[in-house]
Structure formats: structure tokens, C-alpha cells
């Protein structure tokens, strides 16, 4: 590791830093006469960078060397595509290492009948995971907060009827067991990306986690949020770029495709895009899904509805089943362009 100290540090502060490094098992060696550049050799440990950055006298960590956080991709494997990628499986869906999968469904579950209709519809058109929130994180306390316990029941029925695994949002660490009974994958939403007790709680499970980027979160903040889950021993984390705050009202958010490309280099974790919350309107969803996949995304999560005018939540951005079928065809073609494969349940996919 290579760290840089602040200029003209008093000797006592230098000694405190050396003591901290020693405690972490590192041998320190100054590389310059000013005693600002310090080479640390020793064990590879994921906590080294953050612990050193926390010390008042440390200006920055110039090179973490082998001391990588758990999310980090081995730099030696950055150039060969998919080498060292983690794969996260949810039922038949596979994310990462050249596998691309699609998650689709309503924003919120608002009734069993519609949910089952949508589940069967998206399954036939290439989705391998059903989405749908029972607990909804709404911006206003007066907006529909989700069907909650009843919603979980509807998800259970839709799973049974369609055979699709489900991803549903977890809002409260106290609900891990309750939601975990039905969810095959926990969704941690944008508004909760930095909720560390919640992240630690899902880190204690071994269930896949879909971690959405906060709408004003840096990529390092997203990766460190994932680190909370990984540090608990849960390796099944899928990151999701869902758009960041912009200034132009034509789209709800700005899909950060640069983030997708960067994340694919920075981490071995799978990365997917959510074009629905980025666009905020159905006519741009397919274009953004294509852009995300072209940038290297390992999958797409999107909102699909058969009766968008009936719903309380995000009906204005849901795409139709027909549009979802077109998105699936695009995803298959784009994945194939760089030797990747769209994973579908071919036995189910009858509509193309």
C-alpha cells in the first residue's frame, strides 16, 4: 500500500500513524525525505484503506495494493472480459460473468389477479424474476405505502402460479424474516442505500440482495454500501444503476451509463440497470435499457403493467407486455454482441 501523509506533521502524529499501521500488521517505510510518502507492506486486508483514511494525519491512500475491499475486482483481471466476475443466481436467473437476465413486474403489488396476469405475461416474454413492492418507500407519507402484509400474500400466490422467483423491497431491518419468507431476493431501494443497519441485517442472510444506487450517491458510496452486505458474509449482491438526480424535467432521473461501465471495471459484482425509474416515462425505457446493456450491464429491472391507469404507484412509467417483449429481443441481441447470453427459461418463452 502507498499512503500520503499531510505536510509537516508533528512527530507525535507520525508516530501515531506508524503505531496504527503496526497494529494492522503492516511494516512501514518512508519513501521520501519529507516523510510524506509511506509504503506499507504486510497482509491484504479489506479494512485497511478505510481505517487509514480515518486517521487525521493521512492525506490519502494512493494505492491500496493488495488490500482491496471485498467488492473490488482484482486489477490484474480488469482487461479480460468477465474474468473474475461474480455470478448471482436467483432461481433460473443469472447475473454476471456473461449472463444477462431480466427482472420485470409492477412497481407495487396492488392485487393478486393483476400481479398473476403480469407475472405470466413477463415470464412468457423472457423475464426470469418477478418484481413488485409490498412495502413501498414513498416520498410523501400520504401516498400509497404498499399493500404490505397482504401484498406479500399476493406475491406468494404469483410465485406459485408463475414459478418465477420474486424480488421485493425491504424497508425495515425488523422485517427481514417476514419479507424473507417470500422474497427470493431482497431489494434495498435508493432511499435506503445508506441505511447501514438494514445493509448489515441482509448481510447476515445469504439471500441475494439487489442494491440500488441512491439518487445522489457517488459510486464509491454505492460500493461501500455493498461492502456492508459483503462484510456480513453475504456474497450475493447485485448493484443497480437507476438514475441520478438531474436538472432537466424531461426524464425523472439521468441514467448514468458511465457508472455502469466504471462499476464493471471497479467491482466483480454484477451490475444491472433500472431504465424505468431513470426515464420516468414508458417511451424511453427500451432505449435506456439498450444503453445500459451496451455499457456492460448484466441485466435489466423494469416496470411492466397490463393496466397502468388502474394503479397507485408508477403506472405512468410502466411499459406494456408487448414493449417488454421488444426489450427482451434487444437484450438478447446486445448481449450476443460481446459474447454474452440472455438467460431465459426457454420452455416458458413462447412469445418473441
Tally of CA atoms within 13 A in the half-sphere of 89 that contains its CB = 2
| E-only strand ranges, 80-162 | 88-90, 93-95, 99-105, 129-131
Comparing CB distances to ligand PEP, the nearer of 137 and 180 is 137
Which of ligand PEP, Mn ion, none has residue 48 at its interface (CB below 5 to 8 Å by kind)? none
Residues in binding contact with ligand PEP, number by CB under 6 A = 10
- Residues sharing a CB contact under 8 Å with residue 166, sequence separation 6 or more, in sequence order: 105, 129, 130, 131, 132, 155, 158, 159, 182, 183, 184, 185
**Which value, in Å, is the radius of gyration of the alpha carbons in the chain?**
22
Comparing CB distances to ligand PEP, the nearer of 121 and 133 is 133
Question: Contacts with ligand PEP in 271-300 (CB under 6 A)?
Answer: 274, 277
Comparing CB distances to ligand PEP, the nearer of 190 and 267 is 190
| DSSP string over 202-237 | HHTS-S-EEEEPPTT--HHHHHHHHHHHHHTT---E
Binding range to Mn ion, per CB under 5 A, among 75-83, 261-269, 281-289, 313-321: 313-321
Strands 58-63 and 2-5: antiparallel
Binding status of residue 242 toward ligand PEP by CB under 6 A: yes
Is residue 170 within 8 Å of residue 160, measured between CB atoms?
no
Is residue 152 within 8 Å of residue 176, measured between CB atoms?
no
Cα 339 to the center of its chain, rounded Å: 23
Between CA 215 and CA 281 the distance in angstroms is: 17
Find the shortest distance in angstroms from Cβ 212 to ligand PEP: 4
Comparing CB distances to ligand PEP, the nearer of 79 and 139 is 139
- DSSP class of residue 63 equals E
Find the shortest distance in angstroms from Cβ 123 to ligand PEP: 19
Grid cell for residue 265: 471495471
- Residues sharing a CB contact under 8 Å with residue 143, sequence separation 6 or more, in sequence order: 136, 312, 313
Find the shortest distance in angstroms from Cβ 251 to ligand PEP: 14
Binding status of residue 212 toward ligand PEP by CB under 6 A: yes
Which of ligand PEP, Mn ion, none has residue 69 at its interface (CB below 5 to 8 Å by kind)? none
Comparing CB distances to Mn ion, the nearer of 27 and 143 is 143
Binding status of residue 107 toward ligand PEP by CB under 6 A: yes
* Residue choice 146, 165, 189, 270 for contact with ligand PEP (CB under 6 A): 189
Tell me how crowded residue 346 is: count the other CB atoms within 10 A of its CB.
9
Binding range to ligand PEP, per CB under 6 A, among 47-55, 88-96, 188-196, 318-326: 188-196
Between CA 60 and CA 7 the distance in angstroms is: 12
Find the shortest distance in angstroms from Cβ 109 to ligand PEP: 11
Question: Which x/- pattern over 14-53 shows residues binding ligand PEP (rule: CB under 6 A)?
Answer: ----------------------------------------
* Residue choice 96, 121, 126, 133 for contact with ligand PEP (CB under 6 A): 133
Residue with cell 449472463: 99
Binding range to ligand PEP, per CB under 6 A, among 15-23, 183-191, 255-263, 264-272: 183-191
Is residue 32 within 8 Å of residue 38, measured between CB atoms?
no
Comparing CB distances to ligand PEP, the nearer of 89 and 190 is 190
Strands 209-212 and 185-188: parallel
Comparing CB distances to ligand PEP, the nearer of 91 and 146 is 146
Binding status of residue 107 toward Mn ion by CB under 5 A: yes
Find the shortest distance in angstroms from Cβ 312 to ligand PEP: 12
Binding range to Mn ion, per CB under 5 A, among 4-12, 104-112, 196-204, 283-291: 104-112
Between CA 349 and CA 352 the distance in angstroms is: 7
Q: Give the footprint of Mn ion on this chain (CB under 5 A).
A: 107, 314
Q: Give the footprint of ligand PEP on this chain (CB under 6 A).
A: 107, 133, 137, 189-191, 212, 242, 274, 277
Amino acid at each position: 500500500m502507498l499512503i500520503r501523509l499531510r505536510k509537516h506533521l508533528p512527530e507525535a502524529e507520525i508516530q501515531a500513524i506508524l503505531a496504527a499501521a503496526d497494529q494492522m500488521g503492516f511494516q512501514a517505510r518512508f519513501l521520501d525525505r519529507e516523510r510524506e510518502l509511506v509504503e506499507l507492506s504486510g497482509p491484504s486486508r479489506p479494512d485497511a484503506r478505510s481505517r487509514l483514511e480515518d486517521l487525521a494525519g493521512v492525506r490519502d491512500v494512493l494505492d491500496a495494493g493488495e488490500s482491496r475491499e471485498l467488492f473490488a475486482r482484482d486489477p490484474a483481471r480488469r482487461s479480460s472480459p468477465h474474468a473474475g466476475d461474480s455470478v448471482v443466481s436467483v432461481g433460473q436467473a443469472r447475473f454476471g460473468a456473461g449472463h444477462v437476465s431480466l427482472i420485470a413486474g409492477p412497481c407495487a403489488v396492488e392485487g393478486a389477479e393483476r400481479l398473476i396476469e403480469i407475472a405470466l405475461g413477463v415470464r412468457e416474454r423472457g423475464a426470469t424474476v418477478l418484481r413488485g413492492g409490498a412495502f413501498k418507500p414513498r416520498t410523501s407519507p400520504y401516498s400509497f405505502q404498499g399493500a404490505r402484509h397482504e401484498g406479500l400474500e399476493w406475491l406468494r400466490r404469483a410465485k406459485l402460479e408463475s414459478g418465477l422467483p420474486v424480488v421485493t423491497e425491504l424497508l425495515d431491518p425488523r422485517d427481514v424474516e417476514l419479507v424473507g419468507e417470500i422474497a427470493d431476493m431482497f431489494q434495498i431501494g435508493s432511499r435506503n442505500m445508506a441505511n447501514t443497519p438494514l445493509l448489515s441485517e441482509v448481510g447476515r442472510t445469504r439471500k441475494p440482495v439487489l442494491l440500488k444506487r441512491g439518487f445522489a450517491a457517488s459510486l464509491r458510496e454505492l460500493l461501500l454500501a455493498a461492502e456492508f452486505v459483503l462484510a456480513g458474509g453475504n456474497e450475493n449482491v447485485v448493484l443497480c444503476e437507476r438514475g441520478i438526480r438531474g436538472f432537466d424535467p424531461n426524464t425523472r432521473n439521468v441514467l448514468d451509463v458511465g457508472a455502469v461501465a466504471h462499476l464493471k471495471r471497479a467491482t466483480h459484482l454484477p451490475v444491472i440497470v433500472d431504465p424505468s425509474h431513470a426515464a420516468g416515462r414508458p417511451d424511453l425505457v427500451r432505449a435506456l435499457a439498450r444503453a445500459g446493456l451496451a455499457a456492460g450491464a448484466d441485466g435489466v429491472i423494469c416496470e411492466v403493467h397490463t393496466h397502468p391507469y388502474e394503479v397507485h404507484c408508477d403506472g405512468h412509467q410502466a411499459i406494456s407486455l408487448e414493449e417488454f417483449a421488444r426489450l427482451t429481443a434487444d437484450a438478447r441481441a446486445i448481449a450476443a454482441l460481446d459474447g454474452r447470453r440472455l438467460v431465459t427459461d426457454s420452455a416458458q418463452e413462447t412469445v418473441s
